[in-house]
Amino acid sequence: MTILIQLSDYSWTVQALHLACSMARSQHETVTLLRLMRVRHISYLGSAFGRTPITDQEMGELLSYQDTAEDYGVELELEQMQCLNCIDAIAEAASILSATAVFARVPSSMIPFWHDLMEARLQYRLWRAGRSLYTLQPNPSTDQVAGIHVKASQDALARTI
């Protein structure tokens, strides 16, 4: 079993990694980082046109993530996936990797309710498969994560459906 973390900006990913490593250590699981490569056209999926090489900056960040996981005594893996839609890709990767928990950052949107709708969609897909979604909610004044936001638990969702 694994705990899946969607790679995002460095500070968000580090904070998610600390929380995931703590969970993984207590549950004897691995942590898998998911690097999504968005493609411009559906025909690029699975082709060389859809591959984005890892940059030097990303490589440095990955080495830092590896050091953090080693400090926790947790195995860290990297998976890369081409996608058209990040939300669907995260849910699909969680299924393929049999993830028990997913740390994801749903992109913001100019449409006020769109972010909440996409987050709810991802949370529902994961809940249907028996997985938990964790999102980190930043403190707007410091841009640091104030805490972990746990989406409705499976029991709470079962009572509402």
Domain count, the chain: 1
CA distance 22 to 101: 13
As beta bridge partners, residue 102 has 4, 133
Among the ranges given (32-41, 95-104, 132-141), the one the predictor scored with the smallest mean pLDDT: 132-141
Segment 38-54 shows an average pLDDT of: 73
- Show Cβ contacts of residue 94 under 8 Å, excluding neighbours closer than 6 positions: 4, 102, 126, 129, 131
Residues spanned by the domain of 88: 2-160
CA distance 76 to 88: 23
Task: For Cα atoms 137, 160, 107, give the angle at the middle one, nearest 5 degrees.
Answer: 30
CATH of the domain at 49: 3.40.50.620
Instruction: State yes or no: pLDDT of 161 exceeds 50.
Output: no
Instruction: State yes or no: pLDDT of 160 exceeds 50.
Output: no
Segment 77-103 shows an average pLDDT of: 93
Instruction: State yes or no: pLDDT of 155 exceeds 50.
Output: no
Closest of 73, 86, 115, 122 to residue 101, by C-alpha: 122
What percentage of residues in the chain have a pLDDT greater than 70?
Answer: 81
Higher pLDDT: 145 or 29? It is 29
